[in-house]
Amino acid sequence: MAIRFQHRPGLVAYITCGDPDVNTSKEIVLAAIGAGADVIELGVPFSDPVADGPVIQRASERALKSGTRLEHVLEIARAARSRSDAGLIVFSYLNPLLRFGMARFCAAAEDAGVDGALITDLPVEEAEAGGYLRMMRARNLATIFLAAPTSTPKRLKRIAADSTGFVYAVSRTGVTGVQKELPQDARELVARIRRLTDLPIAVGFGISTAKQFAAVGEYAEAAVVGSALMQVVEANPDSPARAVAQLITELKNAARSGSPVACAR
């Protein structure tokens, strides 16, 4: 499947798989797609999520306690693919994929209907040297890399060249989490990337209100929402799928109408 965004800004929804359990995660992912998410980032829970803020750290802890492994994430992907053509990206740290086996992962991801992967702690230089790009290309899987405001021109050029699907522009340095204002760095970073590639650009890390979501659409094709979604999962244990769908619907509707809607904090 080709990753595509139907409207601007498109919505990339990050979901920590296995929080609170695998079956509920399937419901959450399908609800997010039904509410209008263009791409789902299927978060693989990890014991040391150094790039994530407290909301996603807690989600990972709950998922690990429920016994969630990479196999279950691929199971969720398969269930979503059987009912939708939305983009599906495995979002993981490198360690779980190495333990699973990289070649085995690529084959299993293709078989499950996954569109690609984003490995948060795999630098593009190591991806080139370690065979990751070759194995992913052989399975027609997209390789998505993080570009940060601190990326050098040389590194940004490599990220643009080796990314497929879309480029993930990190709005700020630091960890994930909601924030009151998007920094100017995000707009400037997108402009730098735009000079290097025709791929869609998705801006993430901290987008937590409809105002921010709509603002990203002024200069990028998509916005990534993660901590805000996992926060409503945490706050609504009796109906997490419905709560996620409601938040996505509000974000999309408010962005179209221009009216502000604040996400749960």
Reported as a single tens digit per residue, the pLDDT across 135-147 is 999 999 999 999 9
Q: What is the pLDDT of residue 181?
A: 54
Tokens 């105002």 -> residue? 211
Q: Which tokens in the block code for residue 69?
A: 């492994």
**Catalytic-labelled residue, pool 27, 38, 52, 162:** 52
For residues 31 and 13, give the distance between their C-alpha atoms in angstroms, rounded to a whole number: 11
Q: pLDDT confidence of 183, banded at 50, 70, 90?
A: low
Residue 261: pLDDT above 90?
no
Q: What is the pLDDT of residue 263?
A: 34
- Judge contact between 45 and 17, C-beta under 8 A: yes
Residue 176: pLDDT above 60?
no
Domain regions of the chain by residue span: 10-255
Q: What is the pLDDT of residue 178?
A: 45
Q: pLDDT confidence of 177, banded at 50, 70, 90?
A: very low
Q: What is the pLDDT of residue 243?
A: 98
Assign 246 to helix, strand or coil: helix
Tokens 């990339």 -> residue? 12
Cα–Cα separations (whole angstroms), residue 212 to 23, 139, 180: 31, 35, 9
Q: Is 111 a catalytic residue?
A: no
Q: What is the pLDDT of residue 128?
A: 84
Q: Taking Cα atoms as reference points, which of 10, 15, 65 lies closest to residue 216?
A: 10
For residues 185 and 198, give the distance between their C-alpha atoms in angstroms, rounded to a whole number: 20
Q: What is the pLDDT of residue 257?
A: 56
Question: pTM for the whole thing?
Answer: 0.91
Q: Which CATH number fits domain 10-255: 3.30.70.1450, 3.30.70.1520, 3.20.20.70, 3.30.70.330?
A: 3.20.20.70
Q: What is the pLDDT of residues 44-62, one digit of tens each?
A: 999 988 778 899 999 999 9
> What is the pLDDT of the chain when averaged over all its residues?
90
Q: What is the pLDDT of residues 191-221, one digit of tens each?
A: 999 999 999 999 998 788 888 898 899 999 9
Q: Taking Cα atoms as reference points, which of 148, 74, 83, 156 lies closest to residue 115?
A: 74
Q: What is the pLDDT of residue 93?
A: 96
Q: What is the pLDDT of residue 95?
A: 95
Q: Is 52 a catalytic residue?
A: yes
End-to-end C-alpha distance for the chain, whole angstroms: 34
**Catalytic-labelled residue, pool 19, 41, 162, 221:** 41
